[in-house]
Amino acid sequence: MKTIEDLGDLRGTRVLVRSDFNVPLDGTTITDDGRIRAALPTLTALLEAGARVVVTAHLGRPKGAPEAKYSLAPVAARLGELLGRPVALAQDVVGESARETVAGLADGEIALLENIRFDARETSKVEAERQELAGELAALADAFVSDGFGVVHRKQASVYDVALQLPSAVGSLVLNEVDSLRRATEDPERPYVVVLGGSKVSDKLGVIANLLTKADRLLIGGGMVFTFLAAKGYSVGTSLLEEDQVETVKGYLTTAEERGVEIVLPTDIVVADSFAADAPHDVVAADAMPEGRMGLDIGPESAELFASKIRDARTIVWNGPMGVFEFEAFAAGTRAVAQAMVDAGQDGAFSIVGGGDSAAAVRQLGFDEAGFGHISTGGGASLEFLEGKELPGIAVLEQKTEQ
C-alpha cells in the first residue's frame, strides 16, 4: 500500500482523510477519546507537510439523515484541543457548507465534515449511490488517505469508493494496525494465545473456526463462555446463553481436541442476583451455577488460571472482556487478563488488544497503554482480520498499488 510519503509534496494539496471518530458520548461529553488520539499522528504529519486537511468520519448509527445527538461537534472541539489548533466544522456532509469550509482552508489548516452517515448513500448497498457520494467527496480533495481502521471492513463510500476516485494512501494508524495483526496471525511467535470474551459467541464463530488452525490456546470468558459451559452439559442459570449455538460449540471443542489446541474455560464464576453494579454476588464452581442467578465475571481461581496461561505466551491477542468490567464488582477477571498481558510483554511477548470494549477496559481500569504491544481501534475490523476475511478498505488500497 502507498503511504503518505508516496503522495509527494503535499503543500497546498487538499487531502481527504477517512478517520474513525466513533467515540462514546454521555450527552455531548466524550467519555473515551482514544480513537481521536489515535488519529493524531497522521493528521499532524499532513498538517506539518502543509496540506489542507479535510476529515470525514461517522459517529453512532444515524438513519441516513441528520440527527443532532450524532453531530461531530464534540469531536471537532476535542480534536482542536489535542491538535492545538482550530478545527472548522462543516454543517453538512458534502453540501454548500462543506464546500465553503474546504474552500476557506489555508495550508496547514484542518476541517471536519459533518457525520458522513447523515447521508444515506454512505452505507448504501447500491454501488451507483455510493459512487455518487464518493464523487462529491472526491470533488473536495486532491488525494485520499485511509486512516479509520474501525471501518476498513465496510464497503462504504468514504472507505472504499472514494479510494477509487483519488490518488490514495494508507495513514499510519491503519498501516500500524495491519502490520500488527499480520505479525500476530501470519507467522506468530509461539506459544500463540488468544483470549476471547464479550457477550455473544455468534459474533466470533468465524474467528474461533479460523484460530483453531492457528492458535496454541484459546481462553474463553465473558458472556460467550456460557454457551461453551452449556455445550459441556453444565447449567448456566439465567446467564447469557445462545442455545442455537450449543451444537456448533460442541463441534469446536471436538475439533480443538483433535488438533491439539487447548481451550481453557473458567473453573469458577462470579454469579449475581441481577445485572446491576450493586447486585448481591458470590463465587461458585463453573459446573455448579445455581438456577435463578447470572454469571457476570470469571471467578478468582479462573482469573489466576487465565493469567498463568498468558504469562508464558510469546504472542497474545485479546478481544472481549471477561466480565462486566464497567461494574467494579465484576471487573477482576478483565483486570487479571490485562495485567498478565503486561507481565508477558515485559518478558518480550507481543500483545494485541483487539479494540472495542477491550481497549475501553484497558483505559477504564487504569492501565498504561504502553504496556501492550498494540491497542487496536477497530473491534469489528480486527475480528474480521483474525477470521481471515478480506477487508474492502485495505483491499482497494492494495489493488491500486498493484495497478
Burial (CB count within 10 angstroms: exposed 0-12, middle 13-18, buried 19+), residue 69: exposed
Is 22 marked as a binding-site residue? yes
35 annotated binding-site participant: yes
- Please report the DSSP string for 109-132 in residue order: -EEE-S-GGGSGGGG-S-HHHHHH
Q: Is 204 annotated as a binding residue?
A: yes
Q: Are 210 and 388 in contact (CB under 8 A)?
A: yes
Strand arrangement of the beta sheet that strand 52-56 belongs to: 87-89, 110-112, 52-56, 14-18, 143-146, 168-170
Which one from 200, 214, 314, 400 is the annotated catalytic residue?
A: 200
355 labelled binding-site residue: yes
Asked if the bond preceding 191 is cis, omega within 30° of 0, the reply is yes
Whether 59 has a binding-site annotation, put simply, is: yes
132 contacts 158 by C-beta, under 8 angstroms:
no
Name the active-site residue from 14, 18, 34, 35: 35
Neighbours of 389 (CB within 10 A): 14
Q: Is position 295 annotated in a ligand binding site?
A: yes
Are the C-beta atoms of 55 and 90 separated by less than 8 Å?
no
Whether residue 304 is annotated as binding a ligand: the answer is no
Q: Residue 380 catalytic?
A: yes
Active site residue 356: yes
Establish whether 171 is an annotated binding residue.
Answer: no
Q: Answer yes or no: is 64 a known binding residue.
A: no
Give the strand order in the sheet containing 192-196. 262-264, 217-220, 192-196, 315-319, 350-353, 374-375
Q: How many angstroms from the chain centroid is the CA of residue 68?
A: 25
The active-site residue, picked from 64, 108, 206, 380, is 380
Among residues 150, 198, 237, 356, the one annotated as catalytic is 356
- 117 marked as part of a ligand binding site: yes
328 with 357: CB under 8 angstroms?
no
**Would the annotation count 154 as a binding residue?**
yes
Q: Is 200 a catalytic residue?
A: yes
Q: Known binder of ligand: residue 52?
A: no
Q: Is 95 annotated as a binding residue?
A: no
197 part of the active site: no
Could you list the residues known to form a binding site for substrate, using ranges.
Answer: 20-22, 35, 58-61, 117, 154
Could you list the residues known to form a binding site for (2R)-3-phosphoglycerate, using ranges.
Answer: 35, 117, 154
Could you list the residues known to form a binding site, using ranges.
Answer: 20-22, 35, 58-61, 117, 154, 204, 295, 326, 355-358
Could you list the residues known to form a binding site for ATP, using ranges.
Answer: 204, 295, 326, 355-358
Q: Which residues are catalytic?
A: 35, 200, 356, 380
